[in-house]
Structure 1
Amino acid sequence: MKVIVTGGGTGGHIYPALALINEIKKQNPESECLYIGTKNGLESRIVPNAGIPFETIEISGFKRKLSPQNIKTVWRFLRGTRTAKKKIRSFQADVVVGTGGYVAGPVVYAASKLGVPTIIHEQNSIPGLTNKFLSRYADKVAVSFSEAAAYFPKKEKVRVTGNPRASEVASTKPNNPFLALGLSTVKKTVVIVGGSRGARPINEAFLEALPAVRDKKWQFLYITGSVHYDKVIEEVEKAGNPNNVVIQPFIDNMPAVLYHADLIVTRAGATTLAEITALGLPAVLIPSPYVTNNHQEKNARMLSENGAAILRKETDLNGNLLLQDIDHILQDQKVWGAMHEASLQLAYPHAAENVVRLVKGLMKPKKRRE
């Protein structure tokens, strides 16, 4: 089985793709996988580091408003499609899977024009532009949230599979990394993180709460993001470096941290939510308001309305409210337990297997068009 996987721009598109490739290799060790991304996207670092063959095409995204830049984007799309066709022919792909991001556009489109079976995977509750466009050409549309199905016109194509990243997290029982990070392995642990680059409002709320944090029974792993790290360290030093707070700019092995944590305060990206529901980890979610169609808030409402998380809008967030939410969840084991169970109920622990099943289902002889 030869599979091309494409997607990029953010970890939310990349990590599900890697989880899918890992599941394909697990089920069929003789399978060959090729990842097509862009040379400037996060995938150009993450995918080769994972030991997966990686090739690139050049593409950029459409501006939602009228812009001369869109003319260049159309030209790049057409050129990218031609390049993708060459790579698909050369690799002799049996199936092409797109996980979103601009790069998936020309690759999946090229595969459909060659008659190669295609699948797209949508992580969010509201699909992105690329996947909406590709849904017209893809043979199957896999979605993480059942609510996303309504945005795709041909319902017979759609399958609710969950996010493949959930399978990877749910099937792993990593060693506790807390001692190496300077944390206790017996205290309840709150992880606060705003993504790889951090989130200023979350940082500000936690810094505001620092004077009260030192008196809490819980410990805090505070992942600031590389952009904000130096400033946060400066502010924490002014507050006297509470001994129950450990600060890191970035953590490579987040699944291990999440597995051993008791609570997370974070944004509401789809892949993050797949990870925490796979583990049943209670959460305080502060959705980013700066994303397309406000999809993070809609993602977060899926958890909050089912009792798995507390949703706080950025505009309402402050240090006092943040600590109130944390205390509410950790002080009462019944509250924590109810959120834990509610979170697990929303998980798709076999998501990767579900998508692989779609891949195998499309592997039928099919005449290719030139």
Structure 2
Amino acid sequence: MKRIVLTGGGTAGHVTPNLALIPHLDKLGYDVHYIGSYNGMEKELVEKKGIPYHGISSGKLRRYIDLKNLSDPFRVVKGVGQAAKLIRKLKPDVIFSKGGFVTVPVILGAKLNRVPSIIHESDMTPGLANKISIPFATKVCTTFAETLTHLPEDKAVLTGTPIREEILQGDRAKGLSLCEFSTSKPVLLMTGGSLGAVRINDVLRESLDMILEKYQLVHLCGKNNLKEELVGIQGYRQFEYVNEEMSDILAMSDVVISRSGANIISELLALKKPHVLVPLPANASRGDQILNAASFEKHGYSYVLNEEDMTPKNVMKAIDSVYNNRNEYIDHMNHSKSSNGIENILTLINELVK
């Protein structure tokens, strides 16, 4: 039986594309294993799928000064040894990495064992973990054509992003029932990713009275960001994070407010959901979300509102503009040439196995 090791972690964005591939790999007869960090969020998400999970030591790769920068390289070195030993034991035919700091030891371990590896870079420019790993990888998949210029020509392959099939099969009625919403007002969804988005959360809650005059709001606010005093308000539902229910929530949503991570914007594009993007600002990131949002805005898919410009007035202006012009945004997205990357990535995996 063919065997593949998947890796990726740190945020849901580094896990969900792997989850999208798993059912297709099963159908193709692959024995799937997963390598992640000891207690990262990827562990729970992967084990729910019944996939054998192997935890290793990993250190966060930081661009800023922190005392942990002194100790984390030793964790990475330890992780390389653990990953190399695991790979020798599992004897996979190929490794697929979705990024995140835990993947660096795995890609290095694959190189030490002469196992071919594929990296997927979702954003416009490679993240730090992928930058370190690319010299040791066999191939590098990209979401954006613009990314190809940042990669070795003999390794780069434009594939698109893998999108979970279930995200495309949501039921609007189930979403309305889950949130106890009616059909009398349009639905606004705010999602800040698995870790939340504090600034967006705060401004939305400041704007809540204005929003609820016109819309119903389902608010995915991130871990430990629920507000007990807002429970029970008609037309408003808050969740820390949703998984299985996300497809139904997206199906019922008329407008989405989101960060501009590559995975969520790829899903919004595939679903043709009118949306407002609030990219993570440059002082809190490497600027990849700003580039992603700029590309989508250029193609007419998105309304972009910078976090520093977020006020209740500007938020309402953005929401109303997108909702009132939703057909125009949908038309632009209908003309997108972007595709679900699953088939392209599976083809590449099979080629390397052969």
Give 3-state SS (helix, strand or coil) of 2:353's partner.
coil
C-alpha change, 1:104 and 1:249, in structure 2 (3 Å) is: closer
Q: CA deviation at 1:67?
A: 6.5
Residues 221 and 241 in structure 2, CA contact (< 8 A), matched pair in contact too: yes
For 1:274, which of 266, 280, 284 is the aligned residue?
266
For residues 237-248 of structure 1, the aligned pairs below 5 Å read: 243-248=234-239
For residues 1-370 of structure 1, the aligned pairs below 5 Å read: 1-26=2-27, 28=28, 30-64=29-63, 69-152=68-151, 154-165=152-163, 169-170=167-168, 172-174=169-171, 176-185=174-183, 187-216=185-214, 218-230=215-227, 233-234=228-229, 236=230, 243-252=234-243, 253-289=245-281, 290-331=283-324, 335-346=325-336, 348-364=338-354
Give the structure-1-normalised TM-score.
Answer: 0.87
1:49-104 CA-partner distances (Å, limit 9, x unpaired): 12111001101023335766445333333322222122112212000111101111
Give 3-state SS (helix, strand or coil) of 1:165's partner.
coil
Worse overlay, 63-72 or 74-83: 63-72
Q: How many residues align?
A: 350
1:92-146 CA-partner distances (Å, limit 9, x unpaired): 2000111101111111111122211110001111211111121111111001112
Rounded Cα–Cα distance in structure 2 between residues aligned with 1:141 and 1:168 = 26
C-alpha change, 1:82 and 1:250, in structure 2 (3 Å) is: closer
* AA in 2 matched with 1:249: E
* AA in 2 matched with 1:315: E
C-alpha change, 1:321 and 1:157, in structure 2 (3 Å) is: same
* RCO higher in structure (CA 8 A, sep ≥6): 1
- Structure 2, unmatched stretches of 5+, are none
Give 3-state SS (helix, strand or coil) of 1:156's partner.
coil
- Structure 1, unmatched stretches of 5+, are 365-370
Rounded Cα–Cα distance in structure 1 between residues aligned with 2:319 and 2:25 = 39
Rounded Cα–Cα distance in structure 2 between residues aligned with 1:210 and 1:263 = 15
* AA in 2 matched with 1:164: P
Give the structure-2-normalised TM-score.
Answer: 0.91
C-alpha change, 1:323 and 1:59, in structure 2 (3 Å) is: same
C-alpha change, 1:108 and 1:179, in structure 2 (3 Å) is: same
Q: Give identity over the alignment, percent.
A: 30
1:155-208 CA-partner distances (Å, limit 9, x unpaired): 1211111111265534x3446321122112464211022223432221222223
Give 3-state SS (helix, strand or coil) of 1:214's partner.
helix
Rounded Cα–Cα distance in structure 2 between residues aligned with 1:75 and 1:182 = 50
Q: CA deviation at 1:354?
A: 1.0
Residues 170 and 250 in structure 2, CA contact (< 8 A), matched pair in contact too: no
* AA in 1 matched with 2:26: K
Give 3-state SS (helix, strand or coil) of 1:76's partner.
helix
Give 3-state SS (helix, strand or coil) of 1:215's partner.
helix
Residues 36 and 54 in structure 2, CA contact (< 8 A), matched pair in contact too: yes
Residues 197 and 227 in structure 1, CA contact (< 8 A), matched pair in contact too: no
C-alpha change, 1:23 and 1:179, in structure 2 (3 Å) is: same
* AA in 2 matched with 1:93: P
Rounded Cα–Cα distance in structure 2 between residues aligned with 1:149 and 1:228 = 38
C-alpha change, 1:96 and 1:227, in structure 2 (3 Å) is: same
Residues 148 and 156 in structure 2, CA contact (< 8 A), matched pair in contact too: yes
Residues 48 and 54 in structure 1, CA contact (< 8 A), matched pair in contact too: yes
* AA in 1 matched with 2:226: Y
1:10-65 CA-partner distances (Å, limit 9, x unpaired): 11111111112222123x1x310100001121112111012111001101023335
Give 3-state SS (helix, strand or coil) of 2:190's partner.
strand
Alignment RMSD: 2.2
